[in-house]
Each structure stands twice: as C-alpha cells, then as structure tokens.
Amino acid sequence: RKVVKLIIEGYKGEAGVKAFHINEARCLVLKETVPAIGISWGAGTITVHAGIFGVPIFEFSVVGAGDWVDIEAARRFGYDPAHPNGEYQETPTTICRRKESMNLKVAPEDRVGQAIYLMYEILIENVVKGITEGFKENRGKFRFDKPVNIVNAGGTSMPDDFIEMLNR
C-alpha cells in the first residue's frame, strides 16, 4: 500500500492526485443501495466490509485464507512448512490444485478431500463469527429495513458449492 501511494503521489504535482486506500471488500459493495456485506476471499487474507451506501458500519480482515487452507491440509499428511523442500505425500501446491476441482457440497470420502473440507469449515466459521461480532459491537449504529446483500469474490471462494457451504 505504501509503495503504491508513493508512486501515485509522485505525480501529485502534475495531476493533483491524492492517494488513499480502500478496503477490497468495500469495493465489492460500493454500488449497492441497500445494506451489504462484501467478503473478499483472498489467498493470504480475507477482508470483510459491512455497510450501506458505501459508508462502513464495520470492516475487518482475517489473516490466513486460501494459503492457510493449503498449508494446514498438507500438514495433516506430514508437510512441515519449516522444511518445504522435503519429500511429502501432500504439499500446499498439491492441495491447491485439488481445491480447484473440489465440490464442497458434502464432505469427500477420501482423506485429502476431508482435510480440505475441514479447513474450509473452520475458515468460514471464523469469518461468520467476525461478522456476527461486528454487528453486535456496532448495534445502534445502523438500522436495516431491507435484506442485507452479501457479495463474495476471490480465489478461495472458487470451489463448487462454496456459497452453499457458507450458507449452512
């Protein structure tokens, strides 16, 4: 963020540009005219924004997302992140490839699929807890008369039936 800001502000004299950052999840719901939650399911971080008309009610990030799923699932099969070049049955790379073709509708029967499925359950549970806490901590700062739209994006949310798993 700081490097990009320095580059952009380097053009300040020429174009009068002032750089500022915006939460990635907030970008997902800026156009929403009803209360909305944006969730960006990235590889390293999940960002969450809840707001209305582009005004935040709360925002937070969860460190450890798709990469965390890969590493933690691989650990179940002996992978040691301190020694990534060892000979392993499963690595974060093999887990990542497996995720791309996974269906999260039901828990798989094979052990690798089960490990990935479990990590997704934990990850989603942590995000939902954060959203619940955000609303509890900010009670009184908002009033919703309409349903809340939820917009999801990002590579970690790409497996089939991710949204169904999120809705459970």
pLDDT in tens, 126-143: 999 999 999 999 988 877
Q: Under a CB-based contact definition with an 8 Å cutoff, are residues 53 and 34 in contact?
A: no
pLDDT 10s digits, 9-67:
666 655 666 666 778 899 899 888 788 999 999 999 999 999 987 788 999 999 889 99
The identity of residue 44, as a single letter, is G
pLDDT 10s digits, 56-83:
899 999 988 999 999 999 999 999 999 9
- Side by side, the strands of the sheet bearing 149-153 are 55-63, 45-52, 36-41, 149-153
- Report CA-CA distances (Å) from 12 to 3, 4, 5, 7, 8: 15, 13, 11, 9, 7
pLDDT higher for 32 or 157?
Answer: 157
Across 28-138, where does the E strand assignment appear? 36-41, 45-52, 55-63
Rounded-to-integer distance, Cα 14 and Cα 8, Å? 11
Q: Does the pLDDT value for residue 2 go beyond 60?
A: yes
Strands 45-52 and 55-63: antiparallel
Q: What is the mean pLDDT of the chain?
A: 88
Rounded-to-integer distance, Cα 71 and Cα 58, Å? 29
SS3 state at 105: coil
pLDDT of residue 75: 96
pLDDT of residue 39: 97
pLDDT of residue 146: 78
pLDDT of residue 128: 95
Phi-psi region of 154 (alpha: psi -120 to 50; beta: other; left: phi over 0): left
Query: Count of CB atoms within 10 A of residue 142's CB?
Result: 14
pLDDT 10s digits, 81-96:
999 999 999 999 999 9
Calculate mean pLDDT across residues 119-130.
95
pLDDT of residue 81: 94
SS3 state at 110: coil
pLDDT higher for 101 or 92?
Answer: 92
- Report CA-CA distances (Å) from 161 to 30, 47, 107, 141: 25, 20, 11, 34
